[in-house]
Amino acid sequence: MSKTDITKPADLTGHSEGTGPLRMRRPLYVDFMPPCNSACPAGENIQAWMDFAQAGNYFEAFQTLVEDNPFPAIMGRVCVKPCETGCNRTHIDTTVNIHAVERYIGDEAISQKWPIQFVAYSSGKKVLVIGGGPSGLSAAYHLARMGHEVEVYEASGHLGGLLWSGVPDYRLPKEILEFEVDRIVRTGVKIKLNYKVADVAFEKTAGHFDAVYLAIGAQLIHKEEFEHDGSVYMSDAFSFFNEAKINISPFLKKKVVVYGGGKLALYLSRMIKRFGSEAVVYFEGDKKLMPAYDYETEDALDEGVELNLLRQISSIKNKKITFEKMKVEKGKAVGTKEFETIDADVLIIANRQETDSAFLRALTDLTFNEDGSINIDTRRMTGQAGIFAGGDMLPGENRSATIAIGQGKKAAKNIDAFLKGKAFQKPDKHATASYKKLHMWYKTEAPKKEQDKLNPLVAIQNFDEVIAGLSEKEARYESQRCLSCGNCFECDGCFAACPEDAIIKLGPGNRYNFNYDACTGCAVCYEQCPCHAIEMIPEPLKANSNAR
């Protein structure tokens, strides 16, 4: 059925369109896109794995989940959860705790050591992935599932990219990261660590690779221009993360100023608190301009981090930092020529990430931006054929591991098509099932089960995980709060409501069929379907049966 077959039904009150032989519209079982699925940057079929979780079948939930995202335990912890922002449940009580259910499934898979099940036939093609962060690993994983031979070259000694170097243990324990990353290796992907690529064209030719995926991330911090006399110890976010793993003495029991408004700034400010130091965050914009999500800011404030907005560094002299007070005009922070000065021992710059893409300049027909990010076309390809790119090295402020994972999967699909000598064709996308489309004749409130959190005063004493997971009972309860928006879940509402017995049950998992010879077009089934899996469409010239 094409999208144009579905039309908005007219006023069905009194059945003015006619019934029986005079029927002008007939019911049709349809599928719409759930808003959670639509909002997920990783392209997860959330409703599908949530359905398995509702039944307590977590193994199948896991297999369904990893068809799109190989890191459920990781993303159940660090995802910025746009799926929950779109959840229709918010119109009744509160969103389904989707990421917590995903985390439970991921943790259960680790505990039970569930393998990822798939069958792949060798394509005879080789792909080089440069960069072992979430985007590179996602691309490698999906390419391996497609039957391609994949090698990942990583400049550092660890896989995971910013998940390893930029997310503290209190948010993502290293053992969780390592287990899920190791799954990529177990799919047959070859890994080369501590290998920094200097010449992409040489590596492509020398390794007999048919395509290359660039996923080097954005692990540089923009250099701020201001006068300083060296009296305050200075570092940047990524240098800090690396140094703190070896020596925390420069940051121990000091007054540390963090400059930036994104999650990196808040992550490291919370680390500073765990070192027993005073952590003060300054940002040039207001709250609306902060890249960090509200919950990230609130968690930092709860732990005693101080936040100062509308302040831009002007100079450093005699162990004092001078800030210019800012104001917002037309969505941008501008100076006021008013200043304030504070004492500080350490300054960590965590404002605006950039990409170290200088080594790519030797490639012809690639276009770069001021921050080192690279531009791609609709095929996820750079200006040079066979060279693709994705993840944090693409332009944009809304960088996240979830987006990077999704870009890796999209790149894999386009690389697969390229290797087969054709262009990737996106499948048609169903319209989203908004809350207004649902016919919620029941609205039983079932409050969300919040995850337990360590008391902030306890949390800052160590790097233990702050947010706890759900129990099996809680995860199943949360999954059962799902409304199954836009897709039939066999509630039998249509079957029970039809006054003509025109609906035929086809058995568990097979849904229903309409007997159009008996159907009068009264639209009772349509009006009571809670998830909007039935649409009223114009009566065709020739009736055809429609199974659901």
Reported as a single tens digit per residue, the pLDDT across 336-363 is 999 999 999 999 999 999 999 999 999 9
Residues 347 and 279 both lie in one domain: yes
**CA-to-CA dists, residue 188 to 183, 253, 320, angstroms:** 9, 46, 54
pLDDT on residue 536: 92
How many degrees, rounded to 5, is the angle at CA 178 between CA 475 and CA 137? 95
Q: Are the beta carbons of 272 and 251 closer than 8 angstroms? A: yes
Give the CATH number for residue 454. Answer: 1.10.1060.10
Give the per-residue pLDDT at 413. 97
User: What is the spatial distance between Cα 440 and Cα 326, in angstroms, rounded to a whole number?
Assistant: 48
Considering the domain architecture, whether residues 95 and 108 belong to the same structural domain is answered as yes
Instruction: Please give the pLDDT value at position 397.
Output: 65
Kindly state whether residues 87 and 135 are assigned to the same domain: no
Q: Is 180 contained in some domain?
A: yes
Amino acid 430: pLDDT: 87
What pLDDT is recorded for position 441? 78
Residue 116, classified by CB atoms within 10 Å of its CB into exposed (0-12), middle (13-18) or buried (19+), is middle
- Taken in order 229, 231, 237, 241, is the CA torsion positive or negative? positive
C-alpha 160/C-alpha 131 separation (Å) is 9
Closest to 137 (Cα-Cα) out of 115, 159, 113: 159
CATH (domain of 171): 3.50.50.60
- Distance, in Å, from the CA atom of 404 to the CA atom of 410, rounded to the nearest integer, reads 10
Do 519 and 465 share a structural domain?
no
Q: Is the dihedral of CA 131, 137, 142, 144 positive or negative?
A: positive
- The structural domain count of the chain equals 4
What is the distance between the alpha carbons of residues 222 and 210, in angstroms, rounded to a whole number? 34
AA letter at 415: I
Assess contact for 349 and 369: CB atoms under 8 A: no
Residue 23, SS3?
Answer: coil
Is residue 121 assigned to a domain? no
Residues 310 and 341 in one domain: yes
Q: How far apart are CA 354 and CA 58, in angstroms?
A: 40
CA 142 to chain centre: 16
User: Among the residues of 94-173, which ranges form H helices?
Assistant: 98-112, 134-145, 162-165
424 inside domain: no
The answer on 311 and 236 residing in a single domain is yes
Residues 233 and 323 in one domain: yes
The residue range of the domain holding 71 is 35-116+439-480
Query: CA–CA separation, 282 vs 259, rounded Å?
Result: 5
Same domain, 227 and 332: yes
Residue at a domain's end among 329, 351, 373? 351
Residue 212 is assigned to a structural domain of this protein: yes
- The last residue of one of the domains, among 351, 378, 402, is 351
Residue type, 393: M
CA distances from 99 to 86, 87, 104 (A): 13, 12, 9
CA 107 – CA 104 distance, rounded (Å): 5
Sign of CA dihedral 80, 82, 84, 90: positive
Asked if residue 192 is part of any domain, the answer here is yes
Give domain status of residue 510, yes or no.
yes
* DSSP SS3 for 368: strand
CATH number, position 521: 3.30.70.20
Q: If we measure between CA atoms, which residue out of 400, 474, 392 comes closest to residue 83?
A: 400
Report the relative pairing of strands 306-308 and 387-389 from DSSP bridges.
Answer: unpaired
* pLDDT beneath 50, residues of the chain: 1-18, 543, 545, 547
Indicate if 213 and 229 belong to the same structural domain: no
276 in the same domain as 263: yes
Do 14 and 68 have their domain in common?
no
Contact 483, 88 (CB under 8 A): yes
Residues 174 and 316 in one domain: no
* Helical H segments across 153-228, by residue range: 162-165, 174-186, 200-206
Note whether 126 and 224 are within 8 A (CB): no
Q: Which helix (H) or strand (E) holds 61?
A: helix 58-65
The answer to whether residue 331 is domain-embedded is: yes
- 3-state SS of 246-301 is CCCHHHCCCEEEEECCCHHHHHHHHHHHHCCCEEEEECCCCHHHCCCCHHHHHHHH
| The pLDDT value given to residue 14 | 38
- Tell me whether residue 102 is in a domain: yes
pLDDT number for residue 252: 92
What confidence score (pLDDT) does residue 444 get?
Answer: 75
